[in-house]
Structure 1
Amino acid sequence: MTLERTAQTVEGVRRRRLQLSLMVNFFLLMALYSGVLGVLLPNQIAALDPANKANNLALLFAVTSVFSTLTTPIAGALSDRTRSRWGRRSPWIAIASVIGSICLFGVSWMTSFWALMVFWVMATVAYNSMQPAMTTVIADRFPPEARGVVSGIVGAGMTAGLTAGTVVAGYLAGAQVMAYALFALAIAASCLVFVVINRESSSADLPARPFSWIAFAKGFWISPKEHPDFAWAFAGRFTVYMGYQAIAAYMLYILRDYIGLSDGDSNIAIANMAILTLICLVASSLVSGWLSDRYQRRKPFVFGASLIMGCAMLAPLLLPNMTGMWIYAGIIGLGYGMFMSIDMALMTQVLPQSTEGDEGKDLGVLTTAVNIPQIISPVMAAVLLYLFDGDYSVIFIAAVIFVFGSALCVMPIRSVR
């Protein structure tokens, strides 16, 4: 795989600085996603139309995720073709983050559901134009044998961000404009600093790649027959996020309508649960990444993570109260932290061999395994709630099936141990 076309592999102080910068960026991006999608938007949507909150939330996730799914691989492919003195990835990271943050701040002022959706869609498109470029930095600048460590560090940042964002949003839910502004400013500032202190080699002198819309579209099809490991990795990531997103998207409403908490108590509860998850996530991510590199194994960790996550989802079924939710919060942290820390390293090692510098596009395709569940799982959950008369336990049952299924998808992968 051609990984050193525009940026040489980093070593020493530059590597440590890049690892830390990636961790901070992904921490803030995941904090933004979890805080906005898990707390701020559900609260805002419920306030605008309480009777239709579940359906409207599902519609919002579905529409915005369609745009995310289309944007991510296209932006990844375009970043592969970008020619500038700032390199291929940096312009996308800097410009898209600023545009996304402007749109995100606009969401906080919207007083109708459809206006809110328009601004959130624009923010989502911008952030999903930035994310594949940032993810591809790992493939660009780190050798395969070192990606477990960086994946663990970045995974710890991502998982901690998912928790921290929920905590911050939960406590600031009553100060809507301030909460949105905080997330928007943080990610924009972090991305701008990132491109300055981790200067990418110029791509201006690289030969321009021929461009055809037909060839461009065909390039997004990666044959499962020719690249079975890529297909199995895609399927494993897809199914685990189908289960995880179905619960995460409705967590605030689960606490209110399944556990029986008030609106105010549910905002505090989701924040406090996130603190427990944070502790488990960080410990699991760092230890898993280190062990994965030490033994040069990826599959056992991803397999085990899926089983642990499935067990966590059983707790609220057996104990439909806050005790069950506390157990869920702790165990899901262990499983999801392990999964995220190793999954990124696994993804970079199943990419099709490329002589064209298509790593950004291919990683963008893999990212759709996260985005597509964001379309399907909330809609699936809304349909299940309708069919089972608002019984949230059916969402947990469906999630367990998907997450256990993910473990089976890892086993056929041959090129990674």
Structure 2
Amino acid sequence: MSETYLGGRPLRRYLTWYGVASFSLLLTFGSIMGILLPNHVQALEFARWFTGPDAGVDLAELSRLKDAVAGGATATAEEQRLLGLLGRFDAGRAQALSLVTSLGLAGTMLAVPVIGILSDRTRSRHGRRTPWILLGVIVGAVFLAGVRFAPSIAVLALLWTICQVGLSAAQGPLNTTVADRVPQRMVGTASAVGGLGTFLGGILGAVLCGALFARLGLDLYLVVAVLTVAGLVGFVLRLPDRPSTELRIAPHRWSDFLRGFLAPLREHDFRWVWLARVVLAFGYQSSVTFSFFMLQSYIRPALSAAEATGLVPLLTLAGLPGTLVALAVSGRISDKVGRRKPFVVGASLLMAGSMLIPLLSPTLTALFVQTVLGGIANGMYLAVDQALFIDVLDKDAAGRDLGVASLATNLGQALGPILAGQVVVLTGGYGGIWALAFVLILLAAVAIVPVKRVR
């Protein structure tokens, strides 16, 4: 069994490096999902739709023309032709980005629970989790470097899927170390530290790419790969696990494996917490997937691609103060009062309400207000939701249960872009995405109510 850090310097060292490792992983996802993939997809789709003399079209000007025509202005025949191309391009890039992100998440959704079960059964002189953390980050980094050179949407989707599976294979066992090594009284605090690293990684990844994209372009994929490896390797070197070579495990049978995979969902409380996370991730991912495109095609006045690249990290950064306060306070208060449900329900309700603001006011100001409120809600949720899962899981199969918990996030995140992309195609715009997110996240709050074993 892994060493439990009861307090003092060992626990502080663990919390520090757990936060660093979480930060480095989400640095990747924040920079790739928020900046690099949307820019990469947009460039590939632009080259597909705007060819020859149309290759020099200014998308921002064309979007402003679209708004003017919607307001009653008359377009020439040439302008109508370009607006038709814009409509097909907008639908094409939304579908392409939803395909790339959803395939990556679908691969993760299938792989992570399996890796969780396998890590529970791993016997090695480096422990149960370390081999999977190292293997996952190496595979992820190699294929992330390959994504840089993807010449088409199909190749981009394939390489990013393998990369995301690798990184998530590292993230699952990393998160399981909380259950392995942290005493119950500190689980909420450890979850808050991981949530803080996760959030800061996502934000600073977007800021890094927003600041450097004009200079480095898609070469930023390579920079991010190196930073991710550094964080995870630092964790395993500074916090070596005890050997698990003497671990006693039952003989492996595929029938038992499949039953074990589904076992957590047969438990009442785990099932409801799992469903709540699916729905919340579904709604949240629907709203954030197309932020880069919304800045160019939803808000008024529309921005250029360069302006949107610079504003995406600033938009994300606006939610930082509220998230930091919520993360710092919620996990500790939750541990102190011994309650989880009110925090998760409250976070879900606040996040749902924030989705109505851009729906009612399609402006840049409204997006900033939504980000601030959503940041507070996300901080509260990140601090407590993982602790809630740990409270209801089977301690003897923590890797399996947290792998299935990760499946909830990945399932919701995989479905969100698909549905959001179809909303754009069917409605010709992005407004319906905010209404969809509001309804789904509201359902996530309702799903927590039936949980009985945890208050």
TM-score, normalised via structure 1 length:
0.95
Larger radius of gyration: 2
Q: C-alpha separation between the residues in 2 aligned to 1:236 and 1:342?
A: 13
Return the match for 2:403 from 364, 376, 379: 364
Secondary structure class of the residue paired with 1:201:
coil
Matches within 5 A, 1:283-302: 283-302=325-344
Alignment counterpart, residue 367 of structure 2, candidates 325, 329, 338? 325
- Equivalenced residue count is 408
Q: Deviations over 1:137-191 (max 9, x none)?
A: 0000112221111111211111222211221122223323442122111111111
Please tell me whether residue 127 in structure 1 is matched to residue 123 in structure 2.
Answer: no
1:377 aligns with 2:416: yes
Kindly state the Cα deviation for residue 279 of structure 1 after the two structures are TM-superposed: 2.0
Shift of 1:207: 2.3
Structure 2 residue aligned with 1:391: 429
How far apart are 1:358 and its partner, in Å?
A: 1.7
What residue in structure 2 maps to residue 33 of structure 1? 29
Matched, 1:275 2:313: no
> Contact 1:164–1:278 at 8 Å: present in 2 too?
no
Please say if residues 105 and 177 of structure 1, whose CA atoms lie closer than 8 Å, have aligned partners that are also in contact: no
Q: Report the CA distance between 1:391 and its aligned residue.
A: 2.1
- How far residue 253 of structure 1 moved from its aligned partner, in angstroms, is 0.9
2:246 aligns with 205
Is 21-30 or 71-80 further displaced after alignment? 21-30
The SS at the match of 1:221 is: helix
1-structure distance, mates of 2:130, 2:254: 24
Deviates more, 1:323-332 or 1:26-35: 26-35
2:240 matches 1:219: no
Residue type matched to 1:199 in 2?
Answer: P
Amino acid aligned to 1:318: L
Q: CA deviation at 1:94?
A: 1.6
Tell me if structure 1 keeps the 8 A contact 2:3–2:180: yes
DSSP-derived class of the 1:219 partner:
helix
CA contact 1:83–1:208 (8 Å) conserved in 2: no
Q: Is the counterpart of residue 262 in structure 1 residue 304 in structure 2?
A: yes
Structure 2 Cα separation of the partners of residues 53 and 382 of structure 1: 9
1:168 equivalent to 2:208? Answer: yes
Which of 45, 49, 56 is the aligned partner of 1:49? 45
Q: Determine if the alignment matches structure 1 residue 344 to structure 2 residue 386.
A: yes
Q: 1:223: how far off?
A: 6.2
Q: Which residue of 2 aligns with 1:334?
A: 376
Does the alignment pair 1:24 with 2:45?
no
* Amino acid in the other structure paired with 1:179: L
The code of the aligned residue for 1:307 comes to: L
CA distance in 2, matches of 1:366, 1:109: 33
Q: 1:11 is aligned with what amino acid?
A: G
Q: Distance in 2 between matches of 1:209 and 1:234?
A: 27
Cα deviation code 1:64-101 (max 9, x no counterpart):
22211111001111111111111000111122112211
Tell me the distance in 1 between the aligned counterparts of 2:124 and 2:250: 14
Shift of 1:10: 4.1
The residue aligned with 1:147 is: 187
Quick one: which amino acid aligns to residue 31 of structure 1? L
Deviates more, 1:163-172 or 1:118-127: 163-172
C-alpha contact (below 8 Å) 2:27/2:228 kept by paired residues: no
Unmatched 5+ residue regions in structure 1? none
| 2:110 aligned partner, one-letter code | L
Residues 108-154 of structure 1 deviation map (CA, whole Å, 9 limit, x = unaligned): 12222222222111111211211110010000011222111111121
Counterparts of 1:359 and 1:397 in 2: how far apart (Å)?
Answer: 36
After TM superposition, list the pairs within 5 Å mapping 1:80-91 onto structure 2. 80-91=120-131
2:109 corresponds to which residue? Answer: 69
Aligned partner (choices 89, 93, 109) of residue 133 of structure 2: 93
On the 8 A contact 2:24/2:227 being kept in 1, the answer is yes
Letter of the aligned partner of 1:62 in structure 2? S
State the Cα distance separating 1:7 from its structure 2 match: 3.0
Larger mean Cα displacement after TM superposition, 36-45 or 175-184:
175-184
Which ranges of structure 2 fall in alignment gaps of 5 or more residues? 47-88
Q: Percent identity, aligned pairs only?
A: 32
Cα distance in structure 1, aligned partners of 2:211 and 2:5: 41
**TM-score normalized with structure 2 length:** 0.87
1:108 and 1:176 in contact (8 A); partners too? no
Deviations 1:38-71 (A, max 9, x none): 2101100110113221111111122222211111
Q: Is the 8 A contact 2:31 2:208 kept in 1?
A: yes
CA distance, structure 2, for counterparts of residue 200 and residue 244 of structure 1: 35
Letter in 2 for 1:190: G
